[in-house]
Structure 1
């Protein structure tokens, strides 16, 4: 009999074709010859799934798409169960020159009944899952409660869940007891109502039932706000490269640890920070340099966070 290992589910409501242009420099008003083009099926949750696959975790990506996007995932060998409910899939363009500059198209409008079908498919797969990640923006017209409703399905099934979204969907998800939220610094300020005192806002969320708020802060690492303490994790090395996808890599490492039952948050943060940094030096979103990840683990420093970091 074939043994079916529990898998991690990722949900991408608003997928995209991730396109990367490599150019020496960008000058407004000039013509630029692109030295290298990379394009593949992506979106935040799908990139999380790609990283999980590199980390050796069985994964299935869910969400919305169309027939062409499903075929692209088939070509890449990514296990998926998408609701084909979009008239087309958007593109996200990253121009990688001296710095990475991104252009993100909006998502199309979902067909009727798509959200209910996604809920049904997610719930049916949670019986054989040990982790769920809901990532990214929503297509036009989508109920902003969708990430929260998906998260609640996982909590009801006893499955750890990470939500990485922003705006109103983030605020809705913050009302789900037991959820782990992974906003970036700007999104954390949204939780604080625009105030710089995001740390107090995150503490209030944890007091109200959120399991943890893990704020990703780019080169400044990550801060984890927990019920009994706040931690800051920083990598000693400053890496040059493309930061697109670094947050997705962090979410992959976080859910992988939670799915394994890891309860040591210093270890969870160390894995998340080193995996995120290893994504910066990889050529495209959804990839990590595993050798860099292993090397950086020993350089991550975790310490108590007594007050909100500057900026």
Structure 2
């Protein structure tokens, strides 16, 4: 990418897209195309086609998606598979028909089988059953990978895919019904501290292990790969180490300053037992994460406090 290239970041207001925009601006890219979902509904093929025909972006970061945690995936499976299939199909096809030089599709490590060998390498895709609670979302993301591969094979395009591990950062979703575990816990502990509650409930046993990547690290990785990687294999993006939900809860409790107890509700689902990605390929391409989990959590909680009304619509 040249510093003057026309770059479209789909989903620029979300956790991932906003981090990509910050990274591009930080590195001196000046010609960024961004549209809110109110201005451009990516589920609407006609709107997407019109946008690409008028703006003619040269590079596309496809970070737009309907995302959520266990509760949201479980309650709205049709929304998750429909909206994600529509978004990625419209953007990928419009990119091809309007001569986009390169596209980067962002997936998720939920594409891997529930009981995949750990750490999960790229070649275990489609070797086993998916986690039932997020299967519709995972199937949509797998379809996105295969769509990029198929367009490359049939049309000679240069579309690459990356699979980030669990993400956290600025502009995360802190809604308790639809968010992922880390922002949900941060909000729970924050509100419990304000209300002087004696305890905070955490879903599950606390034993599942998860890997967490700071969104600014992800942004750095995807800009790096957009500029350096043209391979056919999709690439995992992660930190290469994980932590139990129990340990995560304790870390967030300390960062927030909550003084009460943590109560684990074992009647609630745990989800996949472990999700650690193999980042050997990424390391071989010359990239590794810069932020530790402790540093990232501190930065995110500071941002949360500064933007609490926007983040969760509660009073300070």
- Bin for the TM-score computed over the shorter chain: 0.3 to 0.5
Larger fraction in strand: 1
TM-score normalised by length of structure 1: 0.39
The structure whose RCO (Cα within 8 Å, separation 6+) is larger is 2
Larger fraction in helix: 2
